[in-house]
């Protein structure tokens, strides 16, 4: 019987290897260029943008946009702190709820598995609507003007539950669970000591999705938060941008071009807001990357 030849990266010629590396380098540069362009625009002078448009080499540099945003530095720092607290606490609570729920409904031996799977499926098909959500959070749970109004509504996601359930079914062999039971381990001990360490790639993926959701959330703050001290950074930056647009429109409609409206950094502030919101996530992502790479080989068959 003729044996099939196996191929590896060593079989790739040197020229092809160089070509692939060049292609990947070019694609990486193309992915980074837009963010670099945004940073350059945020550091450009507003007058040069109005007269000459966007450019990689602006006519003059200025930090006016960041100075305008950080004019109330204490409020900005407080908003950053609120966003960090909400994100960290929300991700921990969300991972605890999603990981345990997904594990329970992934076990074939659990007698109520179909019922709780249906309970998780119904919210994906039928939502309560904005009025229902507001009444539950603000009236029933009385969470208005509470930091928990920014955490609890996003802590549980049926979609993430089903994603992690599939991950458990495909990446954790039943033989491991059975071996733990034979050794006398309880369900909780099996879950904490065996399932969670094996599931780092899946948990990191869900954790990153939750992090993005919490960090970018401003809608719940708009609905439930009136106190200045509890406003997260996203909603704070949106309010700053809205104030700039309001002042600019008011000046143009009434024909009043004062020194204040003339120097409003409307274009550069938009880009500065993008930088301030994207930079923290860009710094966090490398810590999750190794788990994504590890997740590519989970379940792979070794010969």
**What CATH number is given to the structural domain containing 191?**
1.10.3720.10
Asked, for residue 18, whether it belongs to a domain, the answer is no
Asked, for residue 71, whether it belongs to a domain, the answer is yes
Q: Domain span at residue 176?
A: 24-297
Q: For residue 241, what pLDDT is reported?
A: 78
* Alpha carbons 208 and 192: distance in angstroms, whole number: 21
Find the mean pLDDT for residues 88-92.
Answer: 95
Asked, for residue 195, whether it belongs to a domain, the answer is yes
Asked, for residue 175, whether it belongs to a domain, the answer is yes
* Alpha carbons 46 and 67: distance in angstroms, whole number: 13
Q: Which residue has the higher pLDDT, 185 or 102?
A: 102
Q: Where are the alpha helices (DSSP H) in 187-265?
A: 187-190, 196-198, 200-216, 219-224, 233-254, 259-262
pLDDT band of residue 10 (cuts 50, 70, 90) is: low
59-73, 126-140, 237-251, 266-280 — which is least confidently predicted?
A: 237-251
Cβ within 8 Å of residue 152, ≥6 positions away: 93, 137, 141, 143
Taking Cα atoms as reference points, which of 153, 114, 161 lies closest to residue 135? 153
Q: How many domains in the chain?
A: 1
Asked, for residue 12, whether it belongs to a domain, the answer is no
Q: Quick check: 271 and 38 in contact, CB under 8 A?
A: yes
Asked, for residue 9, whether it belongs to a domain, the answer is no
Find the mean pLDDT for residues 273-294.
Answer: 75
Asked, for residue 5, whether it belongs to a domain, the answer is no
Q: For residue 303, what pLDDT is reported?
A: 40
Asked, for residue 4, whether it belongs to a domain, the answer is no
List beta partners, residue 44: 61
Q: Is the pLDDT of residue 147 over 90?
A: yes
Helix (H, G, I), strand (E, B) or coil at 299: coil
pTM for this model (two decimals): 0.79
Q: For residue 291, what pLDDT is reported?
A: 65
Across the chain, what does the average pLDDT equal?
81
Q: For residue 260, what pLDDT is reported?
A: 52
Q: Quick check: 204 and 288 in contact, CB under 8 A?
A: yes
């Amino acid at each position: 019987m003729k044996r099939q030849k196996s191929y590896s990266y060593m079989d790739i010629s040197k020229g092809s290897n160089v070509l692939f590396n060049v292609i990947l380098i070019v694609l990486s540069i193309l992915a980074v260029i837009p963010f670099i362009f945004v940073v350059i625009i945020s550091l450009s002078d507003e007058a040069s943008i109005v007269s000459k448009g966007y450019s990689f080499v602006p006519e003059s540099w200025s930090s006016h946009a960041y100075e305008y945003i950080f004019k109330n530095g204490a409020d900005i720092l407080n908003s950053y702190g609120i966003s960090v607290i909400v994100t960290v606490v929300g991700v921990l609570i969300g991972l605890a709820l999603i990981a345990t729920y997904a594990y329970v409904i992934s076990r074939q031996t659990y007698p109520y598995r179909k019922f709780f799977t249906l309970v998780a499926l119904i919210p994906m098909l039928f939502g309560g609507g904005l009025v229902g959500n507001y009444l539950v959070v603000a009236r029933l749970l009385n969470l208005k003007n509470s930091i928990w109004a920014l955490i609890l509504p996003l802590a549980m996601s049926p979609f993430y539950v089903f994603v992690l359930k599939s991950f458990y079914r495909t990446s954790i062999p039943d033989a491991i669970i059975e071996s733990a039971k034979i050794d006398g381990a309880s369900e909780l001990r099996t879950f904490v000591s065996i399932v969670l360490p094996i599931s780092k790639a899946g948990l990191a993926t869900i954790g990153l999705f939750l992090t993005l959701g919490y960090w970018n959330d401003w809608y719940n703050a708009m609905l439930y938060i009136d106190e200045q001290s509890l406003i997260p950074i996203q909603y704070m930056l949106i309010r700053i941008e809205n104030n700039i647009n309001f002042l600019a429109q008011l000046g143009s409609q009434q024909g009043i071009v004062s020194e204040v409206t003339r120097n409003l950094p409307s274009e550069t502030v938009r880009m500065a807001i993008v930088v301030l919101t994207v930079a923290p996530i860009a710094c966090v992502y490398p810590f999750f990357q190794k788990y994504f790479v590890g997740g590519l080989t989970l379940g792979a068959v070794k010969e």
